[in-house]
Amino acid sequence: MNFSLLMPELTLAITAVLVILLDLFIKQKSWLAAVSILGLGISSAFALGLWNGTPQSAFNNMLAVDNYAIFFKLLFAGIAILVILASTDYVSKFQRFQGEYYALILLSALGMMLMASTTELITLFISLELVNLSLYALVGFLKDGKSAEASLKYLLLSAVASAVLLFGMALVFGFTGQTQLGEIARSIQSTLAAGQVNSAPAVLVSPGLFVGIVLMIAGFGFKIAMVPFQMWVPDVYEGAPTPVTAYLSVGSKAAGFAIILRVFYSAFIQPSNLGLDWGMIFAVLSAVTMTVGNIIAIQQDNIKRMLGYSSIAQAGYLMVGLATVGLAPALTSAGQAPLLFFLVSYSLTNLAAFIAIIAITSETGSDLIDDFKGMGKRSPWLAAALTLAMISLIGMPPAAGFIAKFYIFSAAVQHDLLWLVIIAVINSVISAFYYLRVVKVMWMNEPASAEKVPASAALIVALIFCSLGVLLFGLLPGLAMNPAGLANMLGF
């Protein structure tokens, strides 16, 4: 067993244990954040050392070490670092439990890295539950009424989703006799007669397999906040600590899309009519998800709930990429690179929004959009960063969100999904109403106070990094699109 292939994950596990032990002996708790960031940095360095090498496998083909996995490992490590930097002021609300807070972020990032690497259903489920267990605790970290309610709702609904996912996996295993993704694909191709495959929908050829795939879509749909499995999002986003909400909105969603793309591209892309079936399912759910998310977001007065429904709508846009992968000719990379680019731009954009919100709400003590009035005068840099994030979420130039939507919609049009792109564009126009409402309140309303909004140096660094990333990838998209192209799973 070559443990060097797993050094990014092993580094995070060791760092999490070290943070918990240090918490017992040191009084200056800021060192815990520094150690956590150092561990994430070392993990990223190990991942970079594996980039663009020969694709390999570990643990008897249970984990893949390829550019696709490494791309997401770097993304998850970056997200965790930014969340920890943004938490440096906020952690004063749970002063006694800072060690546990940072350790849980590290363990959840470890689980996300394993999710992106897994090529086997049992390993997938274990990785998913490692992420879930960490997030349950993080959501309830404030220990007040809203936080406890959010944690309980997330736990109960996630348990149901996990059961549905597991049942779907059981059906797939029952039909194929395999749990390894490549072996599942080979079993499907060898079992179904070529005449049946080419002449009938997959649902008629193998109803049991198709039901298993549908149940897996439902289980994964909870993770990415897809309608109709999005019920947990607004309450959990509102009740969780704001840095955890930021982490959930990007880390959990990126992990969900990473594993969906890995599973469906590796196991269910052939025969072609099977890919067409689940591709069309994702296309229909994409249209419903973005529409429901945007329409309900218009009605929200709480900015965390608004961004919760916004994240549902963004999941709908991302699912356009999944639909393209399913509807494209088998074993091509259409839709993959645009989807990965969209995930990077969305992560930077949403983190920028939430980091600015952390600073503003810590000063105002309120999550209501109306209490953001006059922030352009009180703290122009925070307001500018939040404005840039809102523009990017709409999909307007020069922000990265515009390029991300352009790439993902262009790929969809090329594969006969013009109808879905039209719905997506209409939804983008609808979303401008509630995103620009935040901008209007900040810049056109008079402030309730003339006091400046304080922010720590760490939070400012994280906000500058995210904002520059949103601008840079909007102006020079190749910086992220080229690595995304190299991260395609062709041939693995």
Convert the pLDDT of each residue in 16-46 to its tens digit: 999 999 988 888 878 899 999 999 999 999 9
Residue 318's pLDDT is what? 94
Residue 330's pLDDT is what? 60
The string of pLDDT tens digits covering residues 416-425 is 889 999 999 9
Which residue, chain included where needed, has tokens 């509630």?
434
Measured distance CA(17)–CA(22) in Å, rounded: 9
Measured distance CA(350)–CA(389) in Å, rounded: 7
The string of pLDDT tens digits covering residues 472-491 is 999 999 888 888 888 876 54
- What is the rounded average pLDDT for all residues in the chain? 88
Distance of CA 373 to the CA centre of its chain: 30
Residue 63, beta-bridge partner list? 58, 118
Measured distance CA(135)–CA(109) in Å, rounded: 10
Amino acid letter at 315?
A: A
Measured distance CA(374)–CA(223) in Å, rounded: 36
pTM, 2 dp: 0.92
Measured distance CA(154)–CA(225) in Å, rounded: 12
Residue 90's pLDDT is what? 84
Residue 5's pLDDT is what? 85
In this prediction, residue 405 has a pLDDT band, given cuts at 50, 70 and 90, of: very high
Tokens of 462: 């994280």
Residue 195's pLDDT is what? 47
Measured distance CA(322)–CA(345) in Å, rounded: 17
The string of pLDDT tens digits covering residues 68-115 is 999 999 999 999 999 999 988 888 777 778 889 999 999 999 999 999
In this prediction, residue 204 has a pLDDT band, given cuts at 50, 70 and 90, of: very low
Question: Does 200 have pLDDT greater than 80?
Answer: no
Measured distance CA(417)–CA(255) in Å, rounded: 25
